Amino acid sequence: MILFAAGRAEAMKRFQKTRGILRLLALWVSPAYGEGYKGAHKDPLIGLGTAPIEDPYFRVAMFEQLGSDALETAVTTDIAGKKDANALRLDREATEAIRKARLHKKLATAIFFESNGGMTSAEASVPELRLAVADPDFDIANVETGLEALTENCYFLASEWNRYRFSSKTRLNKVLADRKASIQDSAIDERVNQEVQNVFKAGTRIPEHNCFVEQSNQVPDRAALMLVVCKPDQTIAEPGTLQFIERIVRESGSSGRTFKSALLFAVPDNPASLKEEARKLLALEDIEDDPETPNRLDESDQHRLQTNIKKSTGDLKEAVWRTYRYVVLLGKDNKLREVDLGLVHSSSADSMKTVIVNPLRQDGDIE
């Protein structure tokens, strides 16, 4: 009798599990058919990546099968369930082909099931993910692009040696996002100003240059080529910027300037990206200096932290070059002339003199 009761209980347990799987499948197939009928999405196959994970009823059934809803936050934050979920946002911002294929959402969904579905290896490999999102009309080479974007933006996605997995543990991206929100604007402005001065000091072979002058008497009146670097907020679109430059060109303190054509002005475009890069680097350095970081981040994220700091340092420098893309000088007609240098970066020339002076010399504006 005892054996019979135990056997019946085990059979009932298996039945309930099978029933749960069938319910999950029904919640999966029904929206897939509906979307295909309406013309919204017509996936040729129902694969791991097509799971309607944005549906709260489907998520409840899914977590019932997993035996825990500990990953609810990870799913709704990184995959779907919220309008600003990272995978959905990446799809909206992607190229048309990737957006149409819903690549980031499919990849993130497939990673979730591969790393939390009771498989022997709780992670997803690149070949498995290619199979999960395969489509006759889709360029499979975009998978790596999508995985890179997910790795850089998701808060609960871990990646190591081309293996991916979702977990409930907060990753570096989440810590970074929280820390960026706490960085003060004054600290950002200070770091930006410091970086601009460092870039122009290291990358300029023009004999003299002045950064962030406020009065005309701060710019010497000499027969020598001189570069005046405007403040990051003195953008080319700001009306007061050209008025400021006009005053510096015409005046030298309380008297008129003699060597007007000796002045070149480096003027920034919109400094938003420059400030954002500074915010990111400050946040990364703050995380590095936090004594709790070794306890909060695992070894792989600590390694990524050092890699990201090195990369962000270079990105901030490149942002200075991209931002300061305009040169203003006094033209032959005795009027200010604006020169757009285009896409400037540190590897485009070995000195600011090469970038700024040579094109102007070719145009005959300076000798």
Strands, E, within 49-106: which ranges?
A: none
Which pLDDT tens digit goes with each residue over 176-186?
999 999 999 99
Cβ atoms of 70 and 127 within 8 Å: the answer is no
pLDDT of 205: 62
Provide the pLDDT confidence category of residue 351 given band limits of 50, 70 and 90.
very low
Provide the pLDDT confidence category of residue 14 given band limits of 50, 70 and 90.
low
Distance CA 52, CA 36 (A): 13
pLDDT of 139: 87
The whole-model pTM stands at: 0.77
Record the tokens describing residue 177, joined without a space.
């996002």
Please report where in the chains the tokens 């825990």 appear, as a residue: 68
pLDDT of 354: 54
Cβ atoms of 238 and 200 within 8 Å: the answer is no
Please report where in the chains the tokens 């934050």 appear, as a residue: 77
Please report where in the chains the tokens 């960085």 appear, as a residue: 183
pLDDT of 4: 40
Q: What does the pLDDT average to over 344-357?
A: 58
- 209, amino acid identity: H
Closest CA to 241 of 260, 213, 221: 213
Q: What does the pLDDT average to over 270-280?
A: 96
Provide the pLDDT confidence category of residue 22 given band limits of 50, 70 and 90.
confident
Provide the pLDDT confidence category of residue 36 given band limits of 50, 70 and 90.
low
| Lowest-confidence segment of 89-98, 190-199, 205-214 by average pLDDT | 205-214
pLDDT of 201: 83
Q: What does the pLDDT average to over 291-307?
A: 89
Distance CA 95, CA 1 (A): 65
| Lowest-confidence segment of 135-149, 197-211, 315-329 by average pLDDT | 197-211
Angle (deg, nearest 10), helices 142-153 and 103-116: 70
Give Cα separations from 205 to 200, 225, 249, 338, 347 (angstroms): 9, 11, 22, 21, 15
| Lowest-confidence segment of 153-157, 205-209, 319-323 by average pLDDT | 205-209
Record the tokens describing residue 24, joined without a space.
């999950």
Which pLDDT tens digit goes with each residue over 124-177?
999 999 988 888 888 888 999 999 999 999 999 988 888 999 988 889 999 999
Give Cα separations from 189 to 27, 51, 283 (angstroms): 51, 45, 14
Closest CA to 226 of 247, 243, 249: 249
pLDDT of 214: 92
Phi-psi region of 334 (alpha: psi -120 to 50; beta: other; left: phi over 0): left
Provide the pLDDT confidence category of residue 10 given band limits of 50, 70 and 90.
low
| Mean pLDDT computed over every residue of the chain | 85
Closest CA to 316 of 212, 194, 227: 194
- The domain segmentation of the chain, as residue ranges, is 2-169, 170-367
- Asked if residue 311 has pLDDT above 80, the reply is yes
Distance CA 232, CA 266 (A): 10
- Asked if residue 296 has pLDDT above 90, the reply is no
Give Cα separations from 110 to 67, 90, 104, 237 (angstroms): 19, 16, 10, 46
Provide the pLDDT confidence category of residue 6 given band limits of 50, 70 and 90.
very low
Cβ atoms of 106 and 52 within 8 Å: the answer is no
- Asked if residue 64 has pLDDT above 70, the reply is yes
- 88, amino acid identity: L
pLDDT of 35: 65
pLDDT of 3: 41
